[in-house]
Structure 1
Amino acid sequence: MALDLAALRAHFPSLASGLAFFDGPGGTQTPRPVADAVAAAMTAPLSNRGTVSRSELNAERAVADFRAAYADLLNMPANGVVHGRSATQLTYDFSRHLAKGWNPGDEIVLSRLDHDANVRPWIQAAERAGVTVRWIEIDPETMELDLASYERALTSRVRLVAVTAASNVLGTKPPVRRIADRAHEAGALVYVDGVHYAAHHLVDVPALGADLFVCSPYKFLGPHCGVLTAAPEFLETLRPDKLLPSSDAVPERFEFGTLPYEILAGATAAVDFLAALDPGTGTSRRERLTRSLESVHTHELALRTRLQEGLESLGDAVTLHSKAPDRTPTLLMTLEDRDAHEAQVHLAARDVVAPAGSFYAHEPFAALKLRDPALRAGLAPYNSSEDVDRFLDGLASFV
């Protein structure tokens, strides 16, 4: 199993700029087949969905293909796949849908490790419903979730546990299945933010134990949108506010207004592109995705090791905060007596794109007392060892 990196990189027009991109956790570069799919959908005959004209059928096909692609990517039924503008929008929507069944005295459990998109919507919904918020804390020594604090937070009154599958700043991957099993024993639903996780691993939602799972195609080579999945029979139990004439079928009842068919086509193309990276002999798209994403993981792990060893060689000038044993190829660092934004500017002058900030990770930064801004280097499938060396050389010249 191996990636043909030169062939892979040739699909990305933006790489011809000479830039080395380490901002994948905020959104990856776009391969030409994805952009072509968007353009083809927009320039073909296209109307609102229907069953009569060719333009109506093109719209229907874009929706059906999108649901089938994300069913394969996430190992879920196609009629359990919901499109949204972003993971944040979907989480806000479903926080309101679920909170309709909450009552004063109920509780929810959130994680200090999470991006604010899987924190603030739940806090705000809980405040409106008179529901208590409890927390899973972070162990500052390991950068992993403190599961003892989870056990203390989990009571028979908990209605929902929301947790990330991977931290967008530290890369830490919590034991989601263990967390989900305990939540289910307590009678709670489990909402998993898979935005960062899905960019680096093949997702199996049933294996994770998630009742609801959300991800963002633009984090793994697709266009800007969000995807939520849940069992169709569970979605049938939720009654969102909606326009009276709009479809009440699942999953359409959760998709408000006309769908962006061109974005759906691009998101489908992203899944097909991933499946073709190292397809081997797999016959189904799921089998091809399994093999390809295993190869991506191997490639990114080698680059992460090279990057980490290079950072460690800089000594006390760089403090690396990403240190959980099980994590993605994303490294968060602070610089001794130096401003990370200045490092970003220094690297950018050398055509290395590595952002500085707190990246909407309000709770991790507050809980760990991390300096804001911090510098984040996140790897993507198109990164090369030369990219890593350019980052390290640029940072060494800065510190």
Structure 2
Amino acid sequence: MSLDVNALRARFPSLTTGVAHFDGPGGTQTPIEVGEAIARTITGPLSNRETITLAERNADSAVAEFRTAFADLLGSQPGGIVHGRSATQLTYDFSRALAKTWRPGDQIVVSQLDHDCNVRPWVQAAEHAGIDVRWLRLDPASAELDLSDLDEVVNDRTRLVAVAAASNLLGTKPPVATIAARAHAVGALVYVDGVHYAAHTAIDRRALGADFFVCSPYKFFGPHCGVLAADPELLDGIHPDKLAPSTDAVPERFELGTLPYEILAGATAAVDFIAGLASEGGSRRERIVAANELVDQHELRLRRRIEDGLAGFGERVRLHSRAQDRTPTLFVTFADRDPADAYRFLAARDIAAPAGTFYAYEPARALGVTSGLRVGLAPYNTDAEIDRLLDGLDAFLR
């Protein structure tokens, strides 16, 4: 089997504009099914959750279906699925709640590979709690985390390790399971930023060793929101600040205020859309895993085509994405040209490949760059679009 890209593209109204979208790491385009689910839910009947009226039951169903869908997507349990406005908001909330248990002498560990949403909330929480921060360092030459001192960095004082499952800048997929095993050996929790990872890989939260796994549905065809997955038993021991009359039930105790039921329905539709990419039968979880295998084959082939094309430009282009295991996301700089100029040049040719560092503050500092061009693939990209991208870069460099 192979991915039917033409059939997939037909479900995305935005792709009829002719723009070649290589901006998926910042947010993918959205299929019609997701938009229809949002519209259908918000036009109701709809009200706050309860079980008496149809409007109440519709809201309650939207929440239950959302939790079940993301349990299937993330290899987790419905009772441990938490909705948030964004991955950043969820991480700030959980960092504050967990920091209540930290004491002098404790430490946390963060990574130089991560988007700042999985760095700054933890660093700031540690500062407020008066505890130390240790770092997993990025090797710029290999674009890999240097884990040679893992056992020294993650030690008996460590309470939590925060690490990305994949870098949104470089695509690097570090050995999260190895890091998590060390963390668990010393009794530490593991908080995994899966925002970029979830767009390209079938997720098994338990196999990764992630006590907490956070992602953003708008990176994989859904609406703008965040999702956190954890064991319900773990969540039951965490006590966030909340309103006095609001429920203390898990996972609702972490969801402050009325939920956006239409957004939850759109996110559920995105999960179903992914499952639908696999024509074989089986459970939704099984179809999600099969669909990700098809997507991975397609994206890997296109990524190699881009890499071969970039190699043909010689020293004029530097590819920083070099890790052995990585997503189809390429970060490049130019010997004597501004990446922002390349971004504008390509945009004039209806090719969307943005420039910047994309909130990857620590990786950019480790690389010694202030900006680069990021080319990120999504399942709807085609060979013809790769040709347009490489021709556009060739014209820019000339």
Common fold: TM-score over 0.5: yes
**Are 1:2 and 1:278, in contact at CA under 8 Å, matched by a contact in 2?**
no
Partner of 1:207: 207
Q: Which amino acid aligns with 2:392?
A: G
Q: In the alignment, is residue 268 of structure 1 matched against residue 252 of structure 2?
A: no
Cα distance in structure 2, aligned partners of 1:65 and 1:154? 38
Cα distance in structure 1, aligned partners of 2:116 and 2:380? 28
Partner of 2:342: 343
Q: Which amino acid aligns with 1:386?
A: A
Partner of 1:368: 367
Q: CA deviation at 1:114?
A: 0.3
**Are 1:112 and 1:138, in contact at CA under 8 Å, matched by a contact in 2?**
yes
Which secondary structure does the structure 2 equivalent of 1:137 belong to?
strand
Partner of 2:34: 34
Q: CA deviation at 1:279?
A: 3.0
Partner of 1:231: 231
Q: CA deviation at 1:68?
A: 0.3
Cα distance in structure 1, aligned partners of 2:142 and 2:337? 24
**Are 1:279 and 1:289, in contact at CA under 8 Å, matched by a contact in 2?**
no
Spell out the pairing of 1:72-91 with structure 2 (5 A cutoff). 72-91=72-91
C-alpha RMSD of matched pairs (Å): 0.7
Partner of 1:53: 53
Spell out the pairing of 1:97-246 with structure 2 (5 A cutoff). 97-246=97-246
Cα distance in structure 2, aligned partners of 1:205 and 1:149? 25
Cα distance in structure 1, aligned partners of 2:149 and 2:279? 42
Q: In the alignment, is residue 390 of structure 1 matched against residue 392 of structure 2?
A: no
Q: Which amino acid aligns with 1:158?
A: T
Partner of 1:288: 287
Deviation track 1:149-191 (CA, whole Å, cap 9, x = no partner) reads 3232122111000000000010000000000000111111000
Which secondary structure does the structure 2 equivalent of 1:66 belong to?
helix
Which secondary structure does the structure 2 equivalent of 1:360 belong to?
coil
Partner of 1:329: 328
Deviation track 1:344-395 (CA, whole Å, cap 9, x = no partner) reads 000000000000001000000111212x220000000111111111111101
Partner of 2:299: 300
Cα distance in structure 1, aligned partners of 2:104 and 2:389? 51
Q: CA deviation at 1:288?
A: 0.7
Runs of 4+ in structure 1 off by over 6 angstroms are none
Q: In the alignment, is residue 379 of structure 1 matched against residue 377 of structure 2?
A: yes
Cα distance in structure 2, aligned partners of 1:34 and 1:90? 23
Which secondary structure does the structure 1 equivalent of 2:149 belong to?
helix
Q: CA deviation at 1:108?
A: 0.4
Q: CA deviation at 1:139?
A: 1.6
Partner of 2:258: 258
Cα distance in structure 2, aligned partners of 1:55 and 1:188? 43
Cα distance in structure 2, aligned partners of 1:120 and 1:135? 12
Percent identity over paired residues = 64
